[in-house]
Amino acid sequence: MPDNSGISGQTSPFLEGLNGGAPIQDQGRKKGNIVFSADAIKVLRKWEILHLERNNKRAERRTAGEENVSEDEEDELTPYVMVVPSGEKSQPENPAASPKSSDTPLDSKLLFSDDIAAKNSFRAHNNSIPSAVFSLAKNGLSPPLTLFLPASLERIRSSNVKTVKHGTGETTKVTVIDVSNFPDEDDLDQANWCTTYNTFLTFLESAVGPRIFESFARHYNRMLTDPELATWFRAYRSFDKKIRAQFFTTPYIIDINDAKYRSALQSAKNSFLMST
């Protein structure tokens, strides 16, 4: 059975009744009714509607014969709420400390509204590509494969990166991430190169047309299926880097059967042999 005792040494008033505190109902009885103003009760009504909708959906699933339907949610708050009638005001314990009244709706004061949060969900693994990577490509810069390392993506998502100006002229300069602060892709070993390339293809799929994406997939497959990839890896790594750099400067569709493609690959292999 899972351990519901919580983190040792860590407590929170929001978790009372869940990890050792008095049940929520008992807390309500001890502290008395909770007083809500006319404005605040609107939030409660929204909560009640959502609460009922979820229970109704559970009932429909049970009627349809679905198994493993969770139990209905109990209404743990409403029985202990006292609504202040319209026109009346609740009396705070310390009137001098009470905030001034405002005609601004309560939702406008929230940092995170339910409507925004409802569009998202928890992700155990964030596989999204940060917009900063797209910005590089949009401005004709080839994103180094090392940007697609898990650690690099996490840095970019947390905005823990430096930026630089790119372009010429005051009106055309844009701010992009400084790729010099990331590992050099020429240092990638074969395993990490393959890992980052798969993430690069995921990025590419959402940024280019289907024919372009397919041509890159064929190009990658051509390299990956070479029985002597391990021997020629450094040559392939250098060759592919040039392929990508040229594409983001002047987009084109890769043709792995084209004579110029084969010639460029052979040149990369020759350069590798001369450097060893």
Task: Return the DSSP state at 86.
Answer: T
For residue 49, give both structure tokens.
Answer: 């509607």
For residue 45, give both structure tokens.
Answer: 């009504």
- Would you call 111 helix, strand, or coil by DSSP? coil
Per-residue pLDDT of the chain (276 residues; tens, 9 = 90+): 444 444 333 433 333 444 444 443 444 444 444 454 555 555 556 666 776 777 888 788 778 777 777 777 665 555 544 444 444 444 444 444 444 544 445 556 788 889 889 988 877 667 789 999 999 999 999 999 999 999 999 999 988 889 888 876 655 678 899 999 999 999 999 999 999 999 999 999 999 999 999 999 999 999 999 999 999 999 999 999 999 999 999 999 999 999 999 999 999 999 999 998
CB 125 within 8 A of CB 150: no
* Tally of CB atoms within 10 A around 51: 17
Rounded Cα gap, residues 191 and 24, in angstroms: 52
